A and B are shown apart, each in its own frame.
Chain A
């Protein structure tokens, strides 16, 4: 099968609606297909990556720890839009620290999150074959 560039575009906050959780489920399944996968978080989507989520009080499953496992699935291009963070009073420090191990570099731990501004993100989006929107 041909390799395509797959972009998962996440623009919705977690818990209020199911899109964030079910998007992540597609990413995990899709990882088995060995395509060129990227994730982008813009708008309220950046709230998905905020660290310290605790859902006991709302009776819903906290799925945020799953993001930390993405590196093991070789999903390591996670674009976060700088403007979206700033508009929401957030910085990278407020997000989970997501990493992956680079086999080709003696398993060095590398950052998965790439902070990009809107025009850089526009270039990334323009370069995709398939954009899955949730």
Chain B
């Protein structure tokens, strides 16, 4: 079955991104497909590659990057939410005249239409938030 996942909260403050990750891992292990993971609201903060959590803690963003690499997942960060919160990829940083970008490997920035499309194309949409 095809699942879409929406994540509404950033890492560490809430369990949402952790729960979504465990869910995604289990779904893939059980032979399901993940059409897309959409990061919205503060969920976009999962996509920074500049986070440096303590070594004895999990690195939530890295976990997603690794899972995406292993399973060729489509991790989409909402552009409107990302711009508000200072999450930029290389192209967007250039376009906005910013001196840096911070999107981790495996994530891409795109519009809200990608969330609606995930709802249309997936058999189930599961929302994780606070």
In A30-72, the 8 Å CB interface with B consists of: 30, 32-33, 35
Known: A22-B41, A133-B127. A30 touches B80 (CB 8 A): no
- Interface residues of A: mostly helix, strand, loop or mixed? mixed
Residue of A nearest to B127 (CB): A133
Residues of A within 8 A of B81 (CB): 22
How many contacts between A and B, using CB within 8 angstroms?
A: 52
Partner of B119, one of A6, A22, A32: A6
Tier of interface size on chain A: 20 to 34
The residues of A with any CB-CB pair to B shorter than 8 Å are 1-2, 4, 6, 18-19, 22, 25-26, 29-30, 32-33, 35, 129-134
* 6 pairs from A and B in contact (CB 8 Å cutoff): A22-B40, A29-B112, A30-B115, A131-B125, A133-B129, A134-B41
Given A22-B80, A132-B119, 19 other A-B residues pairs in contact with their CB atoms under 8 A: A2-B120, A4-B119, A6-B116, A6-B119, A19-B41, A22-B40, A22-B41, A25-B112, A26-B40, A26-B115, A35-B116, A35-B119, A35-B120, A130-B125, A131-B125, A132-B6, A132-B127, A134-B41, A134-B129
